[in-house]
Amino acid sequence: MTHHPFRAPAAAVVLLATTASVLMAHQPAQAAAERTRLGSASDVSRSAWNGPAFTMNGAGGIVTASMTRAIDEIRGGTGSLDVVVLAGSAPTSGSRTPECDTITGLTGVNSCTTWTLTTASDGNNSQMNTDVRNAEFVYFAGGDQCRYTAWKGTALEASVEAVAAKGGGSGGGSAGHHINSPIVYDACNGSVTSAEALANPYDRYVSFTTGMFTWANYGAVINDSHFVTRDRMGRTMSFLARAVKDGLAPGGSAWGVGVEEGGGSLFLDRNGMATQYGRDAYVVLADHQPEQAVDRKPLTYSSFKIWRLTPGSTFDFKNRPTCGYYLRSVTNGVTDANPYNGTPLTDCGSQGGGGSTVAESEPNDTRDTADDATALASPGTLTGSMKSTSDRDYFKVSVAAGQTVSMNCAVPTAYDADAYWLDANGSTLTRSVNDGAGTDESLSFTRTATGTGAYYLDVEAYSGSGTATYACTLTRS
């Protein structure tokens, strides 16, 4: 048996230079709860928000690209919002607010408040619930999801649901990823490995909590984290077989969402469209009763349907696809070979994660030579590469009145590329310039003028070059 991981500090810490823009209020507030606020002392007041939006991370830390996307979608690209981070334990070293240290450096953040809650009764802390209800995004830190399930039925559960209901959002990493699915592998009896779960789907370490958070378009899902690194495909298969056998998933089908660590993050918008960031994720479907799932006997289950989501790809959770998957089975507790890689049986075309693709055609280094993407479906993908350190790739995109275009660019590790959104005259309207080779870029834009307008996505090399392909996923709402 493996043990619960401790909450780990985030890798990146944002150092803020002036005390004018930072307020740190470190204070105990009722019982064992601990509160630390960064940023403005006052919450944003605004009548309407554009979410909900969700981030599902394979490890505990913030993934800046998907978090930026969530912030931009919720605020509609204008103004700022407040974030609350919920943790079941304090970090074992370094900053006591690793998530907020990163979040407060992102555009559009007014404040970020970390609450460390160590008892179930802390879920009824009045100040904490006020902070949560006044926030527009709630992030559950990594740690121990059993502590989070203990808040079921407290005021906190309703407070988080109220944030999503007003057009805000929720998310989390590792344990925080687990708690954001409607069927939670809670690990309250201890953590289980794939080998243990496959050998006995009713192992005492396989336990679930249901009836907590059920987000729109995300029903019948069991989240799992650190997916490839810790070889968790097998245990997710066992979880799904249990969910179907025990009737935990409505309709007789259960879906697993396993996200890899090291920057993997699944972003989910208000329409149920998911976009993958950073590292791979896997969607696994169990759509029939298991051939064998009983106590003290190994699992047998034929034909799990598996979708592999690479960075930049999309998956429609509202209209879940019936194509684009490969199959893997479990026989007497043994999975088929290569569970993380397979050739899809059918091509989705424009279904599911489909849309269309426009590949760059050089020369496309100016607006006059831009590749025409005006007919690109949503979701659609723009692809190219930074062939030199001065390369610039232009794509022409049309946007209708009142339409919001969101762009996520998955950048390979061979180079650092930035993304700019330009008007018809070449003026920059918004941009994404995250530092570091392989760091994704994300931006969004809403057309407030009447009629349809022409715009340009400019992807340009900042440092490095290579033939490795970037993929910019465009969605419209």
| CATH number, domain with residue 362 | 2.60.120.380
Strand 208-210's sheet: what is its strand order? 208-210, 183-185, 221-224, 254-259, 281-286, 301-309, 326-331, 334-335
Interval 117-157: pLDDT, tens? 999 999 999 999 999 999 999 999 999 999 999 999 999 99
Query: Does the residue 86 lie in any domain?
Result: yes
Asked if residue 180 and residue 124 are part of one domain, the reply reads yes
Whole-number Å distance between alpha carbons of 268 and 298: 34
Q: How confident is the model at residue 354 (pLDDT cuts 50, 70, 90)?
A: very low
**Closest-CA residue to 118 (of 83, 84, 151):** 151
Q: What is the pLDDT of residue 352?
A: 42
Give residue for tokens 């969605």: 475
The confidence band for 357, taking pLDDT boundaries of 50, 70 and 90, is confident
Q: What is the mean pLDDT of the chain?
A: 90
**Is 326 in the same domain as 422?**
no
- Beta-ladder partners of 37: 113
Q: Which of 305, 335, 365 is the last residue of a domain?
A: 335
Is residue 340 included in any domain, yes or no? no
Query: Do 448 and 365 belong to one domain?
Result: yes
Residue 443 CA to residue 295 CA, distance in Å, equals 49
Domain identity same for 161 and 113 = yes
Contact criterion met (CB below 8 Å) for 405 and 445: yes
Reported as a pLDDT band with limits 50, 70 and 90, residue 375 is confident
- Candidates 438, 426, 428, 430; CA nearest to 471 is 438
Report yes or no on 350 lying in a domain: no
Crossing angle (nearest 10°) for helices 155-165 and 126-134: 10
Q: Which residue has the higher pLDDT, 384 or 22?
A: 384
Q: Per-residue pLDDT tens for 251-304?
A: 899 999 999 999 999 999 999 999 999 999 999 999 999 999 999 999 999 999
379, part of any domain: yes
Are residue 362 and residue 262 in the same domain, yes or no? Answer: no
Does residue 42 lie in a domain region? yes
pLDDT at 153: 97
Shared domain check, 255 and 150: yes
Measured distance CA(361)–CA(359) in Å, rounded: 6
Q: Are residues 230 and 94 in the same domain?
A: yes
Q: Among 291, 232, 85, 253, which residue's Cα sits nearest to residue 173?
A: 85
**What does the pLDDT read at residue 348?**
67
The domain spanning residue 31 has which CATH number? 3.40.50.880
Q: Is residue 209 part of a domain?
A: yes
d(CA 185, CA 124): 23
What pLDDT, on a 0 to 100 scale, did the predictor assign at position 150?
A: 96
Do 311 and 364 have their domain in common? Answer: no
Q: What is the DSSP letter of 123?
A: G
Phi, psi of 324 (to 5 degrees): 80, 10
Torsion of CA 136, 140, 146, 148, to 10 degrees: -30
Q: Is the pLDDT of residue 241 over 50?
A: yes
Per-residue pLDDT band for 29 (boundaries 50, 70, 90) equals very low
Q: From 280, 304, 335, give the residue that closes a domain.
A: 335
Share of the chain above pLDDT 90, in %: 77
pLDDT at position 346 is 74
Would you say the pTM of this structure is higher than 0.85?
A: no
Tokens of 70: 């969530």
Q: CA-CA distance, 406 to 187, in Å (whole number)?
A: 36
In angstroms, rounded to a whole number, what is the distance separating the alpha carbons of residues 142 and 174? 5
pLDDT tens figures, 174-203: 999 999 999 999 999 999 999 999 999 999
Task: Classify residue 37 by its DSSP letter.
Answer: E
Asked if 328 and 377 sit in the same domain, the reply is no
Same domain, 301 and 374: no
Q: Which domain holds residue 450?
A: 357-476
pLDDT of residue 362: 86
Which of helix, strand or coil describes residue 283? strand
Instruction: Report residue 166: phi and psi, to 5°.
Output: -85, 5
pLDDT tens-digit series, residues 64-96 = 999 999 999 999 989 999 999 999 999 888 899
pLDDT of residue 28: 43
CA distance 350 to 356: 7
Q: How confident is the model at residue 27 (pLDDT cuts 50, 70, 90)?
A: very low
Q: Is the pLDDT of residue 387 over 50?
A: yes
Residue 352 covered by a domain: no
CA distance 196 to 179: 22
Do the domain assignments include residue 198?
yes
Answer whether residue 240 shows pLDDT above 90. yes
